[in-house]
């Protein structure tokens, strides 16, 4: 039996849409409000409807052999801070639930929510540090230098100082 896992919305989303809870899906952004991981958050990676658990990107637990595995959370420990409204059926369901509370959800509000999600995703991508190419190192100034023996590096630095 597949059941929906409803999760509370953040106060901002509650005011915007007039509803308190909404079914969670992969792609929603959540914040943890209870437990030892309180304050952390991220994008939902997986929703296990059978066990009633949710896996969040970046929230892992270390196994005995040192490997990391996803840490599944109960829905009552989470608050949705950004909805993934890329699918039309979710938009329709949101409008339907809001209409029961006499709140109208316009296209502009949904587009605004989608644009905010895209902007946040772009921001996350730009904040990730550039990966160094294998065989190179970066110094404090951020310049890339080829890795080699210390003598080769000292010789190269010496040649630079002579010029």
Q: Quick check: is 54 in a domain? A: yes
Task: Choose among 29, 113, 31, 10: nearest CA to 78.
Answer: 31
If you average pLDDT over residues 88-95, what whole number do you get? 90
Average model confidence (pLDDT) for the chain?
Answer: 81
Would residue 134 count as lying in a domain?
no
What would the mean pLDDT of 71-96 be, rounded to a whole number?
92
* Domain coverage including residue 29: 6-127
Residue 137's pLDDT is 52
Residue 135 lies in a domain: no
Number of domains the chain contains: 1
Read off the pLDDT band of 110 (50, 70, 90): confident
What percentage of the chain reaches a pLDDT higher than 90?
Answer: 49
pLDDT band at 114 (very low <50, low <70, confident <90, very high): confident
Q: What is the pTM of this model?
A: 0.70
Q: What is the pLDDT of residue 139?
A: 53
Residue 150 lies in a domain: no
| pLDDT of 22 strictly over 70 | yes
Q: Which two tokens stand for residue 48?
A: 């296990």
Judge contact between 45 and 56, C-beta under 8 A. yes
Most confident option among 50-59, 104-113, 148-157: 50-59
Q: Which residues of 96-129 are buried (b: 16+ CB within 10 A; e: fewer)?
A: ebbeeeeeebeeebbeebbeebeeeeeeeeeeee
Classify residue 45: in a domain, yes or no.
Answer: yes
Residue 69: which pLDDT band, with cuts at 50, 70 and 90?
Answer: very high
In a domain, 32, yes or no: yes
| Of 132 and 52, the one with more pLDDT | 52
Domain presence at residue 152: no
Q: Let me know if residue 41 belongs to a domain.
A: yes
Instruction: Give me the CATH number covering residue 84.
Output: 2.30.30.30
pLDDT value at 79 more than 90? yes
């Amino acid at each position: 039996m597949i059941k929906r896992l409803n999760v509370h919305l953040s106060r901002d989303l509650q005011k915007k849409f007039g509803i308190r809870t909404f079914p969670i899906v992969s792609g929603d952004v959540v914040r943890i409000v209870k437990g030892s991981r309180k304050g952390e958050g991220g994008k939902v990676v997986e929703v296990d409807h059978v066990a009633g658990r949710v896996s969040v990107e970046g929230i892992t637990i270390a196994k005995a052999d040192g490997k990391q595995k996803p840490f599944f959370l109960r829905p009552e420990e989470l608050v949705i801070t950004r909805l993934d409204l890329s699918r039309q059926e979710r938009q329709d369901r949101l409008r339907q639930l809001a209409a029961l509370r006499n709140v109208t959800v316009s296209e502009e509000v949904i587009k605004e929510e989608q644009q905010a999600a895209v902007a946040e995703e772009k921001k996350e991508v730009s904040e990730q540090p550039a990966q160094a190419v294998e065989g190179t190192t970066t110094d404090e100034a951020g310049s890339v230098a080829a890795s080699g023996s210390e003598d080769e590096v000292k010789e190269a630095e010496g040649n630079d100082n002579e010029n």
